[in-house]
């Protein structure tokens, strides 16, 4: 009898733990929408933003025309990302989704980066892109593919990924992300352009290179 009680209690404990783990994620919104505003006097915080009274929400809270404009790719990388997240569309607050337009000059690169809060699904609208992501330690396996107009590719949340225009003409892609504020960490910028700078002792040992190489790379950022 005692053994049966112990087994029953163990099952209950495991069930409770499983329920906790299954529910340990961002909660779904409890209202139709929550338009982000800057005035905090008569509002409440939801998902990191304060909410406008739904009665005074307008169509403009859910609208953004910025993705119709090509990004300026006249830079060292030859690419430009135009985001459409909660910063541009207040009505996205609590809805867990956003977009971005990526423009690429011929041979332009959207450099290795990661989104700490979102999975990304990329659709090529124009051009030819070589894309890929790297799996986590210890394998660090590169999964890559060449994409053409109309092709779609997924970059799992948190993994380092990139896109390179391998065509002789410009390319355009639209990225959908599973967060209103996916965040972005460009690897080279973060490692070699942090403020204050990461100690050269750390970087020389991590990358197994001479300090002069680290100094040069930091000077580029």
Q: Which domains does the chain have, with CATH numbers?
A: 59-183 (2.60.120.10), 185-220 (no CATH)
The mean predicted confidence, pLDDT, of the chain is: 87
> For 156-201, how does the pLDDT look when each residue is reduced to its tens digit (9 = 90+)?
999 999 999 999 999 999 999 999 989 999 999 999 999 999 999 9
Stated length of the chain: 221
Cα angle, residue 193 at apex, residues 217 and 111 outer, rounded to 5°: 80
Residue 43: predicted pLDDT: 63
Given a contact cutoff of 8 angstroms between Cβ atoms, the answer to whether 192 and 186 are in contact is no
Say what the pLDDT of residue 27 is: 53
Q: What is the C-alpha separation between 90 and 200, in angstroms, rounded?
A: 41
**Which residues contribute to the annotated binding site?**
110, 113, 115, 120, 161
pLDDT at 31 over 80: no
Taking residues 47-70, what's their average pLDDT? Answer: 90
pLDDT per residue as tens digits for the range 9-30: 444 444 544 443 444 444 555 4
pLDDT at residue 91, rounded to an integer: 93
For tokens 């040992």, the residue is 205
Supply the pLDDT for residue 52: 87
Binding residues for Mn(2+): 113, 115, 120, 161
pTM of the full structure = 0.80
Q: What percent of the chain has pLDDT over 70?
A: 81
Residue 40 has pLDDT above 80, yes or no: no
CB atoms under 10 Å from CB of 29, counted, come to: 15
Tokens at residue 53, please? 């009274």
Q: How confident is the model at residue 47 (pLDDT cuts 50, 70, 90)?
A: low
Q: Residue 204 burial (CB < 10 Å; 0-12/13-18/19+)?
A: middle
pLDDT computed for residue 38 by the predictor: 72
Angle at 116 between CA 114 and CA 120, to 5 degrees: 65
Q: Which residues are annotated as a binding site for oxalate?
A: 110, 115, 120
């Amino acid at each position: 009898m005692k053994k049966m009680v112990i087994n029953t209690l163990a099952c209950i404990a495991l069930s409770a733990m499983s329920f906790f783990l299954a529910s340990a994620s961002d909660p779904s919104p409890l209202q139709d929408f929550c338009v982000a505003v800057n005035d905090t006097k008569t509002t409440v915080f939801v998902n990191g933003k304060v909410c406008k009274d739904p009665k005074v929400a307008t169509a403009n809270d859910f609208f953004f025309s910025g993705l119709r404009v090509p990004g300026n790719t006249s830079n060292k990388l030859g690419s430009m990302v135009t985001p459409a997240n909660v910063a541009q569309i207040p009505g996205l607050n609590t809805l867990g989704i956003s977009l971005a337009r990526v423009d690429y000059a011929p041979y332009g690169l959207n450099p290795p980066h990661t989104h700490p809060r979102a999975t990304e699904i990329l659709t090529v609208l124009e051009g030819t892109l070589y894309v890929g992501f790297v799996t986590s330690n210890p394998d660090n396996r590169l999964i890559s593919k060449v994409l053409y107009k109309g092709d779609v590719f997924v970059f799992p949340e948190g993994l380092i990924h990139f896109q390179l225009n391998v065509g002789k003409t410009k390319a355009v892609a639209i990225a959908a992300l599973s967060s209103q504020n996916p965040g972005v960490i460009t690897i080279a910028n973060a490692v070699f352009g942090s403020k204050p700078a990461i100690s050269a002792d750390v970087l020389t040992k991590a990358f197994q290179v001479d300090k002069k190489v680290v100094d040069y790379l930091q000077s580029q950022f």
